[in-house]
Structure 1
Amino acid sequence: MEPSNFPRKRFFSLPVDSGGKATEFRPLSISSPQMLAFHLAWLSLFSCFFSTFSIPPLLPIIRRDLHLTNTDVGTAGIAAFIGSIFSRIFMGPVCDLLGPRVASSTLSFLTAPVVLATAFVSSPTSFIVVRFLQGFCLANFVANQFWMSCMFSSNIVGLANGVAAGWANVGAGVAQLVMPSLYSLVNSLNVPETRAWRIIFVVPAIFQAVTAILVLAYGQDLPSGNFRDRQQSSHKLQKENFATVFFHGLLNYRGWILGLAYGFSFGVEMTTDNIIAVYFYDRFGVSLEVAGTIAACFGMANLFSRPIGGIFSDKMAERFGMRGRLWGLWAVQTAAGVLCVVLGRVNSLWGSVAVMCLFSVFVQAASGLTFGVVPFVSKRSLGMIAGMTGSGGTVGAVVNQMLFFSGDKFSKQTSISLMGVTMIACTLPVTLIYFPQWGGMFCFPSLDPSTAREDDYSLLGWE
């Protein structure tokens, strides 16, 4: 994205390529701009996941206080995912035009009051509306992945994307663990149950606002500076507009397939985050705190499982090129589908916990593998492709929630197994992805890489 004569050693403490993107990933470093951007990106998205998934572990309390039916709970879950769908699609072109820093901080500022508003819901309708608006928080994921693709080179972009999103997704698991504990603490201070669960929503709201301030104050869009500076110096970029970026990405079929695949990796993960605590609470009769702890294990596996997917994608690419990335994605996601089927068939508590933990590793790694492919689809519309793929995740969550977890048509264990079968089937279209300069799963390249159109296919170019 930067000129080939981009200065290297003058400005950076990390080794960089000709575009200023880091060629090494050092997660314990906070060197500016690459590693500082990494830490700001994952922490900001972490706060958004924490906010969005702060409600599910408290559902046994909230549904009793608000007199929610199973249909109300299912509708609220769907509403949260629908809010995420449209906001992620919109977030892509915003990142393309304004940069990830402004896009991320603005979204977090706008949605923090919505999180706080959870404390004031008083009916099933207001609960569903708040859940819908909370779903907008998750659009920050698009800015997260866009930012990492701007800062890290092709040899480690899968790793950077995987760790940034994986560490951020841990926020869902931490919410499952922390929110019930906060509730118990406040309730132990003789605060009535109906008030205790409301008070604690000040915590995710403040956390999200603080991370937004940090991103705006210390973040940088690109190795060379911010998008605003680049736009002022580039006549070509000044001509770009929302519609151009939007339709250029929308017409790329690879984005649609990756969106479908992500719908049944991250979409399945979000659905599981939404129902897993209640599943163990209802089916095995464990306490609210124990159910939250078990559910936290699923979400917190992102600390290492999604990064493993990114590493695996980069290693497969190092040995087999783009074909390796695609084969790795298909194999890992199919294995995750099989484990999801098994999870619904296990009848013992500890057996279910063990299968759930293994399932979490594979389904989250599949998400990392998906975004190991995304940065190579389009240079001009990277944000749009990331937005389409990310939206696919929430579309998948909506589909799963509507088909399997709304109402009482299926038992939860049967629904989980059916979700696994659907996951296996919807991973098959990955076999259709083809890049003329890199090939596909079953096809060799048809173009010389040196003649391929960079604007159409690669963010990173051929250096």
Structure 2
Amino acid sequence: MVESLEARGFGVGMPGYDREKWGFDLDGENKAKGLILWKLQSPHVRAFHLSWTSFFTSFVAAFAVAALLPVVRQNLDLTASDIGASGIANVVGAIGARVIIGAICDTVGPRYGVAGVLLLIAPSVFCASLIVDRGGIIAVRFFMGIGICIFVCNQFWSGTMFSPNCVGTVNATCGGWGNLGGGVTQLIMPLIYSGIKQSGRPGFTAWRWSFMVPGAMFLLLAMMTLLFAQDTPNGSYRDLRKTRAAQVDGKKTLLAAVRNYRTWVLTLNYGYCFGVELTINSIIVSYFFDQFGLTLEIAGIVGAVFGLMNLFCRSAGGLASDLGGKYFGMRGRLWAYFILQLCAGALSIVLGNVDDTLGGTIAVMIVFSAFVQSAEGACYGVVPFVSRRSYGVVAGMVGAGGNTGSAVTQALFFADNEGLKMSTQDGLVWMGVMIMAVTCTLCTLHWPAWGGMLSMADPNATEEDYYLSDWEPEEVAANLHIPSLRFAMESKSMRGKANYAKLMAGNAVKEGSEDSDGVPVKDVKTDSQ
């Protein structure tokens, strides 16, 4: 007889859980099946707020220099080539860091990951006030850009705390509100600079004092994360390390992510949604300043609109992914992502062709931003389903794809290279072409039990077969695979509403049957209907 789910630990109550006070149900892994923003007594909600605010702060710092670039370049006598090199350095730094932080999340937990990055990068934020030449701005922007790797902790943490039924929306909201920092910094840094300058400081020192604000934010958030958060619904990784849940081979976890082609396809595609956002954040203020003759403050306000769309657009993409998943399963999630990113590519081409009017450029930029950030949310509505075992590594690799895509795009189209010299407008057009071409690779994604955009599911495949394939027989014998097994049970809804209903009806019949000893049976593993 197969053990019942309850006997294997499914649905075990969470210590301290109070449905009436928290306002949401928990699934078999004690993950929240909903998000109520003000229920701070819940570790799920505290993790949500600390993760997005930390990511928000890293974004503010990473693009603070870009927001003040018209002033900084004049003070340091920087050339267009210098600015392009510093912009590339700003996004290159986080490429390797995102992969590393993903492995760290899988081994020591997202709480230490977030706090560690904030504390390590804070000195470079303060050092921005000491820049005197080309080498200094490139070095500082490189290290400040590493802070963006907190995004991996952000997505890992929300995926650890929230159930598959809402993970797309929660991941997107958590990431989107963090990305909001890229827009807010375009708005607040020029205002901070102006305020300091009006207090009597000369312009060449006012911009330097401005970096004290994001530096202080780093230190504050690091302390709050260490004091008020925990890694998982069931406690910290330090406590869980004493149990089977943390006795996992890190090398095998890394290999499980690297060997899965879905990881690489999503990594490539994220480079042309989030990578596009990073690219626009690096060039937008200077573009409005130079192209339309706006003042620094006004250019910052207009440029901030692109990032401020993260307030709801990334969440909208996650919601679209969840709705697609609810009714059409994984195929619905993939189609939602495909459509959003394809539209973003088309709008980038349009943006490059409306440079003659300020109003037209702003209008197209807003719609373009909406689709770019919705595509980001839809992408991370798919990422949690690639591998339960290697979720942190997968999230890190996909996130690194965003930085890589931005670095490549800036180097090709916006770095004032001698070989590929082109205007910003032409760069936007060719970036749009790249987005649309890369998006077509989503058609190659396929899950055995769920199918793909253009392919059908295997009727004999199960979620358990897919997620347990990441584990060696000896690891299964040691019960290290249990979290993956639980996730497989929760993810059966990715078959689509109709197929999932048939599956549940079949399970109800099986649960009413008896084995040879007359004991009711509840199968852990069930075949597709």
TM-score by length of 1: 0.97
Q: Does 1:7 align with 2:13?
A: yes
Q: CA RMSD in A?
A: 1.5
Q: Does 1:353 align with 2:362?
A: yes
Q: Does 1:238 align with 2:251?
A: no
Please name the residue that 1:183 is paired with: 193
2:467 pairs, out of 428, 441, 454, with 454
Counterpart AA for 2:240: R
2:141 pairs, out of 121, 131, 139, with 131
Q: Does 1:332 align with 2:340?
A: yes
**Is the Cα contact below 8 Å between 1:379 and 1:455 reproduced in 2?**
no
Please name the residue that 1:216 is paired with: 226
2:329 pairs, out of 321, 329, 341, with 321
**Is the Cα contact below 8 Å between 1:24 and 1:156 reproduced in 2?**
yes
Please name the residue that 1:226 is paired with: 236
2:62 pairs, out of 38, 52, 62, with 52
1:451: Cα distance to partner?
4.6
Q: Does 1:423 align with 2:427?
A: no
CA–CA distance in structure 2, aligned partners of residues 372 and 432 of structure 1: 17
Please name the residue that 1:369 is paired with: 378
**Is the Cα contact below 8 Å between 1:8 and 1:20 reproduced in 2?**
yes
1:56: Cα distance to partner?
0.5
**Ranges in structure 1 where 5+ consecutive residues have no aligned partner:** none
CA–CA distance in structure 2, aligned partners of residues 299 and 207 of structure 1: 19
Counterpart AA for 1:78: I
Q: Aligned pairs, how many?
A: 460
Q: Does 1:144 align with 2:160?
A: no
Please name the residue that 1:100 is paired with: 110
**Is the Cα contact below 8 Å between 2:464 and 2:488 reproduced in 1?**
no
Counterpart AA for 1:302: N
Sort the Cα spacing of 1:285 and 1:329 in 2 relative to 1 into closer, same or farther, 3 A: same
Deviation per residue, 1:320-372 (Å, 9 max, x gap): 00000001101100001101110010021000000000000000000000000
CA–CA distance in structure 2, aligned partners of residues 152 and 452 of structure 1: 23
Please name the residue that 1:70 is paired with: 80
Please name the residue that 2:258 is paired with: 250
Sort the Cα spacing of 1:384 and 1:451 in 2 relative to 1 into closer, same or farther, 3 A: closer
Secondary structure of the residue aligned to 2:64 is coil
CA–CA distance in structure 1, aligned partners of residues 469 and 387 of structure 2: 5
Deviation per residue, 1:194-242 (Å, 9 max, x gap): 11100110000000111111111111111110111111111x632423x
Counterpart AA for 1:245: T
1:414 pairs, out of 426, 431, 439, with 426
Counterpart AA for 1:434: H
CA–CA distance in structure 1, aligned partners of residues 138 and 214 of structure 2: 19
1:455: Cα distance to partner?
3.6
Sort the Cα spacing of 1:120 and 1:158 in 2 relative to 1 into closer, same or farther, 3 A: same
**Ranges in structure 2 where 5+ consecutive residues have no aligned partner:** 1-7, 471-483, 491-529
CA–CA distance in structure 1, aligned partners of residues 80 and 341 of structure 2: 30
1:4: Cα distance to partner?
1.1
Counterpart AA for 1:375: P
Q: Does 1:194 align with 2:204?
A: yes
**Is the Cα contact below 8 Å between 2:337 and 2:378 reproduced in 1?**
yes
Sort the Cα spacing of 1:3 and 1:267 in 2 relative to 1 into closer, same or farther, 3 A: farther
1:10: Cα distance to partner?
5.0
1:456: Cα distance to partner?
4.6
TM-score by length of 2: 0.85
CA–CA distance in structure 2, aligned partners of residues 136 and 201 of structure 1: 16
CA–CA distance in structure 2, aligned partners of residues 206 and 163 of structure 1: 25
Q: Among all aligned residue pairs of Structure 1 and Structure 2, give the percentage whose two residues are the same amino acid.
A: 40
- Map 1:78-89 onto structure 2 (within 5 A): 78-89=88-99
CA–CA distance in structure 2, aligned partners of residues 16 and 8 of structure 1: 8
CA–CA distance in structure 2, aligned partners of residues 78 and 292 of structure 1: 20
Counterpart AA for 1:362: F
CA–CA distance in structure 2, aligned partners of residues 69 and 455 of structure 1: 54
Please name the residue that 1:153 is paired with: 163
1:271 pairs, out of 276, 279, 285, with 279
Deviation per residue, 1:98-148 (Å, 9 max, x gap): 110011111111001111100001110111011111111001000000000
**Is the Cα contact below 8 Å between 1:378 and 1:455 reproduced in 2?**
no
Please name the residue that 2:45 is paired with: 35
CA–CA distance in structure 1, aligned partners of residues 200 and 463 of structure 2: 70
- Greater Rg by CA: 2
Counterpart AA for 2:435: M
